[in-house]
Amino acid sequence: MVESIMENEASAASLPSSFKSAETKKHPTISELRKAIPQECFEKNLLKSLYYMARDFAALGGLVYSYKTFAEYGPLAMFVWCNLTGFFMWCLFVVGHDCGHTSFSNYQWVNNICGHICHAPLLVPFWPWKKSHQLHHMYHNHLTKDMSHPWLTAEYVENELSPLKEAIMACPAFAFVEYTFVYLMAGIADGSHYLPTSKLFADTTERIQCAVSSLSCIGFMGVLYWYFKDDVQSFWTMYFVPLLIFNMWLIVVTYLQHHEEDTVVYEEGEWNYLKGAFETVDRTYGFGIDDVHHNITDGHVTHHIFFTQIPHYNLTKATAAIRPMLKECGVYKQKDSRDFLLQYSKNVMTLRKLYGKGVLSFKPKEN
């Protein structure tokens, strides 16, 4: 189903009006882009995927082992420890993300098992997340069908959204709790990922999968309860605070991948697969961050075009292969984001309302 949508939408793709100019060439089709990428980029190597999974678990294990050492050096050292732990929780999520896209391996049962192993410690129900995230990729930048970060029209914000909710959504600090507690658990806005009765699920199979994935998260919470017993302070510093940092990384990265001042969003009839993919932004975080968290930031355009086919460890090479083609026709978005926290804070506070019909943008059209 996913592949057929990609091919059908790609064949009908046309340039967004914001990109059209006398110098702009017609953009390549998905088949042309695929031919430009070395074939080895599409090869899924289970051993390599397991290596990155083990690497992230090893980093987390080392941090847990060194917790008492960090604690001896006081609050500043604990601040560093919590941030490192939360960051590597985010890295582990990205590996599980490959499992959800079936780019972790060629074996679905391996993808499912490893996806649960990676995501349960992060309180992310794997199969429900896989469904909502796949819908995000299938309909990225579609006004009503896209998932994860909702697209809101000016009319909706002004008439339906309370001032309090709008203020909360525009607060950068909301990123620390938004994903786990508001999106996955409470189900705002795509439906709870924990409850089999959620609107997210369409049939009995999906509801059973939700129950299994939710139980995997609950099982991990049981392990935490056994490990910490009555030591609430250790639970707070060793797990809960890093979980908030993980939330921050996930929200900041995914938001910036899809939100910039010139981003456009399409209504039904204007949208197609490639037009949505070309609204994705490749961002360089620098300081080694891009490589450590598996190039999910600086290879995201390619990831969106071939999200079920290219593993994270091949994104850099694949991006280098098609970047000149996309730049030539004016549909490649790339930005230096070493100040990613400032960029996120600015965007989340200012890019709130979409204006227009058919093709919507964050800037209202001048009369």
Across all residues in the chain, what is the average pLDDT?
Answer: 92
Mean pLDDT, contiguous 10-residue spans, the chain (367 residues): 47 36 65 97 98 98 97 96 98 98 98 98 98 97 95 94 94 98 96 98 98 98 92 94 98 97 96 95 98 97 97 98 95 97 97 95 78
Place of tokens 């620390």: 176
Q: How open is the CA angle 267-268-272, to the nearest 5 degrees?
A: 95
Give residue 367's pLDDT.
Answer: 45
pTM of model > 0.85? yes
CB atoms within 10 A of CB 160: 10
Pairing of strands 264-266, 359-361: antiparallel
| Angular region, 140: left φ>0, alpha ψ -120 to 50, beta rest | beta
Determine the pLDDT at residue 7. 47
* Cα torsion angle, 16, 279, 178, 344, sign: negative
Q: Residue 286 is which amino acid?
A: G
- Could you give the 3-state DSSP secondary structure of residue 223? helix
Q: What is the model's pLDDT at position 25?
A: 60
Separation of alpha carbons 108 and 82, rounded Å: 34
Interval 208-222: pLDDT, tens? 999 999 999 999 999
- Can you give the pLDDT at residue 366? 63
3-class DSSP state for residue 129?
helix
pLDDT of 230: 84
Alpha carbon 260 to chain centroid, angstroms: 16
For the stretch 336-357, pLDDT in tens is 999 999 999 999 999 999 999 9
Collapse the DSSP code of 143 into the 3-class scheme (helix H, G, I; strand E, B; otherwise coil) and give the result.
coil
Which pLDDT score, from 0 to 100, does residue 364 have?
85
